[in-house]
Amino acid sequence: MKKVLVPLAPGFEELEAVTIIDLLRRAQIDVTVAGLEKGPITGSRGTRIVPDTLLSSAVNSDYDMLVLPGGLPGADNLNSDDHIHDLLQQMSVKGKYIAAICAAPKVLASAGLLANKEITSYPGSLSGITVEGMHNTGEEVVVDNNVITSRGPGTAMDFSLLLIQLLAGDKIRNEVEEGLQR
């Protein structure tokens, strides 16, 4: 069974986080939701989610993918956490998938993982960030080798379905999508 880590920081974008967690679990993917702090984590719209564990406890497991929900100040809070940068860099070195949506690609940029990559992000979220060779396409979802990025809350379902496709294949992705009745 594939394993995915979804870190939650205060101010996360609820629509993105819940869509990612829900759809991946529908695909029978083992999703660990890890909070940067103990107890419920409050999203940008006031929704509170209780993580499965603390990020400091989750870092010792092996994952096939790490997915960063966006939102503000959630993405900034993820970006301020040393564990996140270390995990991202370790996953990248191992050739594992790293995914970020909305404002969260800024975390990938700060971790030094977007050089010479095609990406997408929430408009304006990467303003003032210069990365050599990075091209922000503005598309809904972009895959560049092991890096997957998406534009924002409105693209969360397509983003999550693509993550399922990468981890579990077309058949499972199609089964999950069919059940959604889109």
Angle at the Cα of 72 from the Cα atoms of 91 and 177, rounded to 5 degrees: 65
Of 64, 33, 49, the residue nearest 148 (C-alpha): 64
Catalytic one among 102, 108, 113, 156?
Answer: 102
Backbone angles phi, psi at 31, to 5 degrees: -105, 125
Tell whether the torsion through CA atoms of 38, 42, 47 and 51 is positive or negative.
negative
As a whole number of angstroms, the distance between CA 156 and CA 166 comes to: 15
The label of the residue with tokens 């069974």 reads 1
Q: In what order do the strands lie in the sheet with 53-54?
A: 53-54, 30-35, 3-8, 65-68, 97-101, 147-150, 141-144
102 catalytic? Reply is yes
As a whole number of angstroms, the distance between CA 108 and CA 118 comes to: 12
Catalytic residues: 102
